[in-house]
Amino acid sequence: MIWLRTALTVALVVTALLLELTAMPLLHLPGATPDVLTVTVVALGLVAGPVRGAATGLAAGVALDLVTPADGVIGLTAVVLVVVGYLAGLLGGDRDRSPFTTVALAGLLAGGATLSFALIGGLVADPRISWERVPGLVLTQTAYAVVLAAFVVPGVAWLWRRVDPPAPRYEVGR
């Protein structure tokens, strides 16, 4: 079944990457462009665990860093998305969390990814970083991620349950 989980992960990352690069810029929303890829990495981390979340973040970050409009430091997005995927996986273990809390968590992780990208980019002198725009970008990215997560997280969770059903729970000692 690992090939099925891998195929689903690749399909979700490629779809998110294509949406982020082709459809989202056409919306002309104020502030940041909605980051579908980060929300997808967060969703996969929440449902699949920290290791798979980090691996997905690495693959998604490298893919985003290597696509045609790449003009910054190669690997910067990959580093940020590895950490975001891992944190999402660590925080995703609580199955009793309400859907609203999960969506808010996804929004905070995406906003944190934008802030981390700016901080690390500032350290390595990335020419795309403009400190005057960072607070507005973090705020709008968080808001857009909350809206996206309301649709992406349940969809990814539903798909993941189809390819990786939970193990049956047996009660021992009764």
pLDDT, tens digit (0-9, with 9 covering 90-100), for 98-138: 888 889 999 999 989 988 888 887 787 777 777 788 888 88
Indicate the pLDDT class of residue 66, thresholds 50, 70 and 90: confident
pLDDT at position 12 over 90: yes
Taking phi first (over 0 means left), then psi (-120 to 50 degrees means alpha), and beta for anything else, what does residue 137 get? alpha
pLDDT for position 84: 95
> Cβ(86)–Cβ(19) under 8 Å?
no
pLDDT at position 174 over 60: no
What interhelical angle do 36-48 and 2-18 show, nearest 10? 160
**CATH architecture type of domain 2-163:** Orthogonal Bundle (1.10)
